[in-house]
Structure 1
Amino acid sequence: MKVFGFYKSKKYLQRVMFSIMASMVVVLVASSISNTYILEKSVKSIQEESNLKVLSQIQYNLSYMNDIITRLSNFVYRDHFLIPLMFNDDLPKMDLIRGHRQMSNIMESSSFLHSMVIYNKSQSKLYGTSSSLLLDGGETDQRIRSLLLDAKNPQPTNRLIPMSLGQQEGRIDTFAFIVTDSLKPFTSTQSAIILFIKSDWVFESLKKMNVASDRDQGEIYIQTQDGTLLSSDPQATFVSDQAQTQVKKLVEAHKAEETRSSGFFIGQLSGEKEMVTFMDDGLGAWTILYIQSYDKLMGAVNHTRNQSLLISGLFLLLAIGLSVGLSYKLYNPIENMLKRIRPHLPDGKQDGNGAGDELLLMSDNYMKLSEQLSEISSEQIVSKYYIRRFLSDSQLFSDHDMQHLIEKHHLNISVKDHLLVCVLKIDQFSAFGSNMAGASNKLYNFAIINIAQEIMGSHYPCEAVEIRGDHVVLILSPNATDSGSRFEQAVPKLQEIQETIERFYSISLSCGISDVISNYSFLSTAYTQALRFSQYMIVKGHKAIISSEDIKGNLSSKQVSLPDATEKKLAEALKKGQLTNAGNELEKAFSLIAGFQYDDMIRAVSNLAWVIKNAASEINENRVVNFSVDLDYIHQITQEKETLEEMYLSLLSLCAKICEGQRPANMERNEMMLETVKELIEQKFSDINLSQQSIAMSVKLSSAYIGKLFKENYKLSITEYINEVRLTHAQVLLEQNNYTITEIMDKCGYANQSYFFRLFKGKVGSTPKEYRMKKSIS
């Protein structure tokens, strides 16, 4: 009871114990849930990848089938025996007989054809090969006309159209493939050849992939444009009208959301949670679907989740015991502190168990101290606000109001003399900002403002304020020693500020200095001017101090773009792979750009980037293998790089990659060509007529060029290589002792015995007979 009373009287101790217990519970439960979630997500990802591979193979199979049918249809449509059946108004009997015979021949040569029909629009008649078309009293004829020749429902050409020629409604027993002389939808106003493809041939791929992808885990369907689901299994789950409607809505919604031709989602179908993977067939007609039971796929995940929760429960029991001991150990310093301060507390607070917990007195003292330390001068905040307003909108203030505000807030801005505005801008600000947290940025800006104001204030009355986080503005007033308000010590003081900031914080600053203004009403104009001057750091480099005198040539420049000849020569040099010429043209371009005004500089560099990108794109179009150059990065150069020198080096590096990237493509083409030559020699070495000229004709190149290229790469001629291959095979045949010398010569492509003996002795050192004898003895 004493132990229980002790813990009950210590409110802070109770909170510590509860916090530790709650933390352990949260951590364990969160760990269990997150592990299960990660596992489930991983299973989904792996399953999606696996399903898409299966669908990709089916897509390939369907594309291959369509290609076969298209080739056959093109052949059939041009058959001169079938043309009379399609187009003659009055068909002679012999043409009819020849046409039927030709259709029978085509049917016999194509095992996947179910039947074949020719529609003559002039006669409005169907000529077919199937017995049902000829002998069923016109039922098949009428069925084809109602399904394919309906003027209100034109059918697409050169595509598989699922239909039924049998008597069972809704059962797909064939696919129609309509061939006409145009790509327009087919109606009865056009003559056509209609190939009927066996449905089993189309579904054979689905059957095989169903077996390969584990039939217990899912079913594969083909979805037509109207939402009908076709399957190789007549007992498939989702072939009812309601199920097909649900699948169609879900797939269309997901396609619209993802804007992709393939995808993966989970939805409710026929009251069950299903995992659906879809992919277009590549021809724009069908969608291939793989539907799997979500519960079956996630069975292992659910089992793992249950085990994880059980283990977490066991650990929770252990955590409760640990939390009690750990809490008391953590509470010891608080208990010792309370023992020290209790004698100094009022009588009513000696036990520390008032309305609050044991830390109430310490927190009260802390709050009092915090209030004292956090008092900020509202006058200073208002002063900075008005300085920013003067810099951005000084024209909106009347002279009287502006002078009144300056005097009221005791700003170090002269109301009688000339003024000077300086902008201190942080170099590489984007990189600086990305490496610093928000609080760190504020501390650095605070340090820059104080150091700048202290250094500059030692000589000139000044005000400093930070604007937009990337630059600090100094407003200088003349001191009593300045003659003519020329601010002669402003530049040395700015250099001192730069060196101090860089020494302590490794931050580089560029400076823009406005022209001297006559009074405070022109502050916003001077600020805009100084900020614009600071942009010319792009030419002067980091840590530059820039005034109007330094960029007089840029400000007066009338040139706004590079000469067309320079850009044209750069593009030509890149296409020819001439890095030296490209570098020279790029250097000339940047020399000209350095004299432009700032906006024209940025525009000119962007134009150069487009020239390089367009040249690289043209090079890629004419290459067998594309070189790996990130062409999208080229447009980021003007944003990421701050100086012309950095932009020049980046573009030069890209030019080097483009020029260097062209060499491996030529080498690769040569290697492919030489490998082809060697393969031809290995295959045809027994041909007596094999020679350098015949090989050159085979690869469509000149004999001299292929011979020179082969010699340069392998250090021997094509003829020497042919003899090397032939003599090597002759050695093998001589060792077998199954052929005569004459037979071996014939198999190795030699017709002249003395020539063969001379070459063989030159290679081996003995005649073929001697070589065979030595091998037999050994």
Structure 2
Amino acid sequence: MKIFGFYKSKKYLQRVMISIMASMVVILVASSVTGAYMLERSVKNMQEDSSLKVLSQIQYNLSYMNEIITRLSSFVFKDPFLITLMYNDDLPEMDRIRGHRQMENIMASSSFLHSMVVYNKSQSAMYGTSVNFLLDEGVTEAKIKSQLLNPDNPKPTNRLIPMSLETADGSIDTFAFIVTDSLKPFSEGTSAIILFIKSDWVFDSLRKMNVSGEENQGEVYIQTEDGSLLTSDPNAAYIAAEDREALKRLVDADKSAANGASGSIISELTPGKSMISYMDDGLGSWTILYVRSYDKLMAGVSEARNSSLLMSGAFLLLAVGLSVWLSYKLYHPIENMLKQIKPYLNDNRQGAGAPRDELGMMSENVRQLSDKLNEISSEQIVQKYYLRKFLTDSQLFSHHDMQHAIEKHQLNISVTDELIVCVLRIDNYSAYDDNASSSSKRLYVFAIVNIAAEIMGKRYPCETVEMKGDHVALILSRRESERNAPFEHVVPLVRDIQQTVERYYGLTLSCGISDIVTHYPFLSGAYSQALRLCQYKIIKGNKAILTSQDVKENLASKQMAVPVPIERKLAEALKKGHLTDAGNELEKAFSLIAGFAYEDMLRAVTNLAWLIKNVADEINENRIVSFSIESNAVQQIAREKETLQEMYLALLALCAKICEGQRPAALERNEMMLETVKELIEEKFADINLSQQSIASTVKLSSAYIGKLFKDSYKMSITEFINEVRLRHAQQLLEQDNYTIAEIMERCGYANQSYFFRLFKGKVGSTPKEYRMKKSIS
């Protein structure tokens, strides 16, 4: 009951579970029904095809039998002895004996013949071969005449006619085949030879096709023109008159509708639903039927359907369990959220206006909270406005007016106590401003404001407000019970704020703390003081917490520039390329700058940067190989760097770049000369006479000196470099142009083919011809 009650209370969970279960049920049922239907349809089509194949085989057998009998009848009808029996009005005894003997011979030669009868119309007499015909005193003859010579029902010739001669129950025991000299139906006025075919010979084909494998698959019948059913099994179904009529009616209707000689019908017969396949015998008199129980045919389908239903039921149970688990899994976050906000929900409405489920209840409460937040937000906007106004333009208000505004808008500022202002400023703000998105900036400022208010509010009444994008201002006062206590906890609390913001958001803050003010109109001055104190993090670095006592000496300093001797020694050290001396002088300068006022610090650093830039320009004017110093980079050092340490390192790097370029003039001259040699080789590599001696003559130096200098600098001789350039150009010509090897040698400065081939193979690993062939293939 407890579980049911829990489920009942979770209306959204109910919908989730019902939706998932309904989807799974629909999918499973649809797949099962579709699969069963497709399987039954496929099996039905296969069985229809199978039945028609069986009927085709029976049709072939019957046609073949009819052809054999027709040939025999044609032979018999021309026999002279039998002709005598058929047509003589006065038959001599010897002719009759010879005729009987001939019929016995024919019977002996044909195993499928039951008996023969010759009918003589002149004598209205029949001459037969069977024992019954001869000895039963005319009973068999009377049966033949009654069945074949009935004027009301004339029999066709040259067709098998089912007859009952020897059985008392009227079952078919032979087939008559009448042969006359005309195509008219057989009558008393026509002489004929009647061949009686054994019924087993005809039914044997049906019997073999009627049984497939080890299990009886159905019943095969021959339907005559009058609707009678012929079968090899006297106990077969559908022999009753009502079944014969039903089968004839169904077959005739389907033939008329399909206008075809074969087909299949599914219909209800006496034993049950059956599949009836039919096909004409090909002779135009009989129809072959194959009747099979539909339930037996579809036994496999029924078994598969039942198995599918069982599996679907099992999967359905599994789906129900899975849906319950999945719905609870999906509902888990909502349940956790409900647990968290349930103490704050207050919706007791009933009836039509009540929320439909827990999510609706939450939505309704969110709407109510949103309305309240809008009201609170409007009040907060007014509060923030007054706080910013107090910090920037407090001199425009009287003490009484500010006190009234604080009380009216319920600002968390004491109206009777002293105040201080703290400014929290984001370090490295330029990089922060470039990398953070607008939404991230709003989030960071919101977090800093709330973290500062929460931590500082634990000890002091506090109001926090964002002033600009790079800093937040706090107005602190004391509680009534601590009116005369010092603000000794401010610095530790600020340190806690810095650590919290850095831990969660990766931002560092510097802080300036103003002196105590006793009147509200002095708040603007306190805010400006705290803001200026933040600037002095240039000395202490990031995460500095600064008060007026920390920068007292800087504010009192009268020195505004770096002494001239230090600047002069720095310039001299740079010109001599002495980085150590330049670094020492730069360190002395920054030790002095650390005691300046903030504006003087920036001015002194900027002057040092320009001093270094000017020295670099002066050095470049007197050098062959110059180095570049970007003016914009020099100008931005004092603006982009936030601490003296960063500025010092930037200027030291600038000095290192200048000193690194102060190498001996001889080295510069050698480099220029070697570059000239390389240019000469690149331009004149096609000249066969190009050599180390010709190059030395061109640059007015000895061959040995230029060769040693080149070898020491590039770790290869001039000759090797010449060959390197020539072979590189030879490769390019082999890849791109259709020049002959001789033309390429001429264009690359080679006169000796074997020498060229040896050099080329040593560099590439193949001959020029092989190289060209490989490149053309690739």
Q: TM-score, normalised by structure 1?
A: 0.41
Q: TM-score, normalised by structure 2?
A: 0.41
